[in-house]
Chain A
Amino acid sequence: MSVGIVMLVHTALDRAEEVARHWTRGGCPVVIHVDKIVSNQTYEAFQNRLSDDPMVLFSKRHRCEWGTWGLVAASQDASELLLEKFQEVRHVYLSSGSCLPLRPVEELVDYLAQRPRTDFIESATTADVPWTVGGLDQERFTMRFPFSWRNNRYLFDKLVEIQRLIGYRRRIPHGLVPHMGSQWWCLTRQTLTAILQDPERARFDQYFRHVWIPDESYFQTLARLYSTNIESRSLTLSKFDFQGKPHIFYDDHLQLLRRSDCFVARKIWPHAGRLYDAFLTDPNRAMSQQEPNPGKIDRIFAKAVDRRTRGRPGLFMQSRFPNHGWENGVTAGRYSVFQGFTELFHDFENWLSRATGAQVHGHLYGPDRAEFSGGQNVINGALSDNANLRDANPRAFLTNLLWNTRGERQCFQYGPHDNPKINWHMSRDPNAQISVISGAWAVPLFKSNKNFAEIRAEAAALQKIESKMLDELRNPDVKARVRIWTMAEFIEAPMEPLQVIIDEIGQKSLRRLAEAPRLEDLSGFGQFLQNLKNQGMHPYLMGDFPVDPAPRNLPGGHRKPYLIKK
């Protein structure tokens, strides 16, 4: 038989026993290393249970704390024992107690028999891969790490800092090029004995003893010296999360593991009974002759890491509450805000809805209620139109609305009557498209039937508010797509800016607007502004309106609007 198994065990000994017996049933001898942390009593009981199997041996115990030399020493001793006691072994497969063989043992044996000279060990130079978590890549070979990372994190970090500061560097032994990779390898007898019987081994061991996480670099580096044929990949399927901890497999991963076509997977949850049953005791499983392909499983774990590190844009919830600037998208989707359009155009909302197919709301931040489209009181996600609820947290209202309506473009009206607190939040949101016709709030006043003194007071107040809003929108930190026109500017050629806005919303195919919104009748508006001026209130946000003649009106609905051809 050509394959021998080295198994490093520190917990869930009963599962390790099951797996060991599975290997020996398939004809593979097993050498087990049990961590010194396991009590002698437990260890002896474990040894006794397996004493009936002559193919299982136990190697000298070491303390294997993560990131320290113990794991390498354990692998060395166990490999030596295995190679010595089982002369027919050609490949040594390093595994752990929580590894689970996914394919029948004979398949692994055949696979390796067909590749008698190949060493399967993931091994890459530190310069080329960004694998490491925590930034210690090249430095793990050139610094000293006397303090435990687990128990003495503070001292560990401080010492790294100090070594960086004073530029301390250990010398890498001559002839070694540091390589790193997964600690789960499968090496040939030739390569492994070359490493273990190297006359220089004492020197190398002395060096690696103080390297950080040597189990990911010792064999990976030395194999490069001796191997004639390295295949730089691990036969063990092992995925890592963003902190460098292995992902764990559970019962519900059964189908996923079956499809992975890998020989061995780790880490398996010790209580995942269905997995152990399915892969260890079911001999009639169809043999799959495909090349191992862990890629299928990658996606699901890559997604999990992405979820943990980047999250879902625009979501604020119990376990995601990003600091300012770290939202990865302040809101969940793009939206358009229109200020001054409903004042200037007759029935603007319905027109916009027809032109874009988007959901068009009224003044969502209106003083009385949130004017949802279609006059609804409650909208997606059971979001209420109540102004108190909304104003208790205006930003949450906006992010909730956009989260709830993901996939559907939202448009709404805004203006100086509305809750001003949301303006700043929208201005720094790249998803926002904000279009403002400044001064258009004067049109309803112009049409109103109020006393002029009231109109004057209100105009002054609105102008002040809108001026402040415009300042916010002109801040250098603004991330939204902001367009501001004065009213005078806008009505010179209204279709041109409208076309630009609609194109940018981009809901429908890029075609010319077939229908123009109807401009309110503005004759006499110039005089109205002049009256305000005469009363000492200078309206400036709407730009320059001549008193006479009245501003040009758009031709009525019968004539085709003037459009720019591209």
Chain B
Amino acid sequence: MGAWQSYRLRIQRKRWRIRAFRKRRELRPVANRTSDIAPSDILLFSTQRNEGVRLPWFLKYYRDMGVNHFFFVDNDSTDGSLDYLAKQPDVSVWTTQASYKRSRFGVDWLNWLALKYAHDHWALTVDPDELFLYPFCDTRPLRALTDWLDASSIKSFSAMLLDMYPKGRIDAQPYRAGQDPMEIASWFDSGNYTVQKNPQFGNLWIQGGPRARMFFQDKPELAPALNKIPLVKWNRQYAYVSSTHNLLPRGLNQVYDEWGGEKASGILLHTKFLDTFAAKAEEELKRNQHYGASREYIAYAEGVRDNPDLWCKWSEKYINWRQLEILGLMSKGNWA
């Protein structure tokens, strides 16, 4: 990479930070408990809109994992989830009525909160429908991972988005608040992912899974990106660029080995395809607040009407992280 390109990326990073700084005005604090944060705490950042039904499990899942403090940006929820979050002792929550789209799908808001509160902390940025898995997550807390990453001088940790789906119609089994979504959406595609390198930011661009298989057959290049880098030892100079797909400085995107080896990586179980999905897709379509002119949701709306069964004979049923490791979706790297 030449000096000129490197300079341009630097300018771009500053632009995103300035933008995040400007967007801070859109956020109104509802519960700010950030004074409770200890220097070594692990923080979680999320945006949410009407995800009340998912939040109880989400909070429990990450509390058990060892997250110490939650940051939420609530985008004009109407289902009471804001009050629910404000009552939690380890949650700080901000609310906004501003446009999700114009905050670049929440990235600006979270960049601002991370800039202000996450400096020198490990920060996990996930959506309410994403459950993070890392090697040995059934026997070791998240702090074991972050300590190991610190000891290995690794600053960012990748976790590919793995779309989970139920067998049968998506709306066949209703999801109850507090329930483990894996009980319903327990199937996934194990081996149809394609990987390319993004030359500008140096990150990998991964596509595939059931969404590409079912909804993007005619235009595979538009299938949603599945590469994510959700866990970062944050520094106030950093900025997420496009969702958590990539960030700047670009060295943080180097979460893969290019010389034949495997770096350690995790998985984000994506539990989007529950019975709540159809309603959500309709609503998002109306609001038109999603990425790429919501083309993803348009494709879903069409696909979902025809045949909402994402399951096929070769779908795998989720067991645990070791299964995903054997299937080559994630890796232990040299963590043993």
Contact = CB atoms under 8 A, between A and B. Distances in A.
Contacts of A241: 334
Contact of B141 (A271, A301, A316, A397): A271
The residue in A252, A323, A384 that gathers the most chain B C-beta atoms within 10 A of its C-beta is A384
A559 interface: no
Q: How large is the interface on A (under 10, 10 to 19, 20 to 34, 35 or more residues)?
A: 35 or more
Given A317-B160, A318-B206, A389-B217, A269 B147 contact: yes
Interface string B315-336: 1100000000000111111111
Interface string A305-331: 101111110011111111100111000
A262 B256 CA distance: 35
Interface string A373-394: 0000011111110101100110
Interface SS majority for chain A: mixed
A383 B191 contact: yes
Report which residue of A250, A308, A388 has the largest number of chain B beta carbons within 10 angstroms of its beta carbon. A308
Interface stretch (B28-36, B111-119, B167-175, B192-200): B192-200
B312 interface: yes
B52 interface: no
B321 to A, nearest CB: 12
Given A245-B151, A382-B189, A311 B212 contact: no
Nearest to A269: B144
A315 B261 CA distance: 10
A317 B206 CA distance: 8
Nearest to B195: A316
Contacts of B192: 381-384, 389, 400
A243 to B, nearest CB: 7
Interface string B284-326: 0000000000000000000000000000111110000000000
Contacts of B257: 308, 311, 319-322
Interface in B151-190: 151-152, 158-160, 189-190
A125 interface: no
Contacts of A310: 260-261
B220 interface: yes
A486 interface: no
Contacts of A322: 257-260
A321 B197 contact: yes
B262 interface: yes
A301 B151 CA distance: 17
A97 to B, nearest CB: 15
Contacts of A251: 139-140
B196 A318 contact: no
A384 B217 contact: yes
Contact of A318 (B158, B212, B220): B158
B259 A323 contact: yes
B204 interface: yes
Contact of A319 (B144, B210, B315, B331): B331
B260 A307 contact: no
Contacts of A305: 334
A101 to B, nearest CB: 22
Given A252-B139, A318-B158, A307 B332 contact: yes
B329 A404 contact: no
A27 to B, nearest CB: 33
Contacts of B312: 378, 382
B136 interface: yes
Interface string A109-130: 0000000000000000000000
Contact of B334 (A250, A304, A326, A382): A304
Interface in A137-180: none
A307 B217 contact: no
A319 B194 contact: no
B263 interface: yes
